[in-house]
Amino acid sequence: MHAAAPRFDARDFRLALGRFATGVTIITARGADGTPVGITANSFNSVSMDPPMVLWSLAKTARSLPVFSAASQWNVHILANDQEALSNRFARAGEDKFAALELDTGAGEAPLIQGCSARFQCRTAFCYEGGDHLIFVGEVVAYDRSERAPLLFVTGGYALAAKVAGNVSTGADADAGSAPYSENLLGYLLGRAHYQFVAGFRRTLDERGLDDAAFFVLSLLAVRAPFSAAEIAAHIAYTGIDVGAVLLDALVARGLLRCDAGGYALAERGRDAILHVMAAAKGVEADVVGRLGEIDAAALRNALKRLIAVSDPGLPKLWV
């Protein structure tokens, strides 16, 4: 005899399930008439190493259900962290999901999407009833993987993976004892990280006779120019450095900038100087990313962009 199904609040049950972080996949198959189908699914999981098997579940309401039920073969794509738009596209019913997508040729007929973190080409081994879903278990006949960091999904939103920092506590409430601040204070972490990073190319700045103010002005004008003195000051205000006409005219006098009716721009010597500094800074970045790994580097970029956005006092936008 079956016990009566517990009456859960659907929204709350979904919220509880959403505490389980997953990757994001797109699963594809091809109908007998050649029509490709694909859905975004985070119900994917590994099942067996020998034989190699995986599973995922498909809502019985999905429009692609007849094709997946009839198909003997399907492909699982573990999405990379820059494929959020693709995930959204395949999560919407009724779109031409494969429009303008470059596909690879696989072992079977099912579409094979490019740019993923990993891909598994499977043939259906079993299909089970699972309440309002069908559970597909597949045997993996081929797979490939890349170094692209995976996209995650947790508490109803996309996320990036970040490795936990070993035995280092990262909570803001870690006991600071009697000290005025702890090693978890964001201000300390950001300041120290900044100075340690810049120290890696400080010598190149010194060789070119560039102090912080000159470095900020030159790097701004390397991205976009010309700018008026007021525009330069507005863009650099976040550093606390007050860039005035005196500083800009000194940079013109040194042959680093030129100034005409349109505003200030890099002169030949300024372009050469900033290219050398940027090359050195990129070397430091490559070294740091190498030590952190691409997955943590992507998570760090994401966290810093979020911090910049939430603390932005309303600076003019440099990158559009």
Ligand X SMILES: Cc1cc2nc3c(=O)[nH]c(=O)nc-3n(C[C@H](O)[C@H](O)[C@H](O)COP(=O)(O)O)c2cc1C
Residues that bind ligand X (CB under 6 A): 24, 39-43, 56-59, 62-64, 90-93, 153
Q: Which is nearer to ligand X, 16 or 199 (CB)?
A: 16
In whole angstroms, the minimum distance from the beta carbon of 257 to ligand X comes to: 49
Amino acid, res. 159? A
Q: Which is nearer to ligand X, 47 or 59 (CB)?
A: 59
Burial, 103: exposed, middle or buried (Cβ in 10 Å; 0-12, 13-18, 19+)?
middle
Q: Which is nearer to ligand X, 93 or 107 (CB)?
A: 93
Work out whether the CA dihedral 92, 25, 125, 33 comes out positive or negative: positive
66: preceding bond cis by omega (within 30 degrees): no
Q: Which is nearer to ligand X, 11 or 291 (CB)?
A: 11
Q: How wide is the angle at C-alpha 275 spanned by C-alphas 254 and 238, nearest 5°?
A: 75
Q: Which is nearer to ligand X, 63 or 194 (CB)?
A: 63
Q: Which is nearer to ligand X, 98 or 143 (CB)?
A: 98
* Closest CA relative to residue 171, chosen from 161, 181, 159, 185: 185
In whole angstroms, the minimum distance from the beta carbon of 293 to ligand X comes to: 24
In whole angstroms, the minimum distance from the beta carbon of 37 to ligand X comes to: 6
Q: Which is nearer to ligand X, 17 or 310 (CB)?
A: 17
Kind of pairing between the strands at 53-59 and 118-130? unpaired
Report the Cα 273 to chain-centroid distance in Å.
Answer: 31
Q: Which residues make beta-bridge pairs with 258?
A: 265
Q: Which is nearer to ligand X, 56 or 215 (CB)?
A: 56
In whole angstroms, the minimum distance from the beta carbon of 25 to ligand X comes to: 8
In whole angstroms, the minimum distance from the beta carbon of 258 to ligand X comes to: 51
Provide the Cα torsion 292, 293, 295, 296; round to 10°.
0
In whole angstroms, the minimum distance from the beta carbon of 152 to ligand X comes to: 10
In whole angstroms, the minimum distance from the beta carbon of 58 to ligand X comes to: 4
| Owner of token pair 């659907």 | 10
Answer whether 320's CB lies under 8 Å from 224's CB.
no
In whole angstroms, the minimum distance from the beta carbon of 96 to ligand X comes to: 11
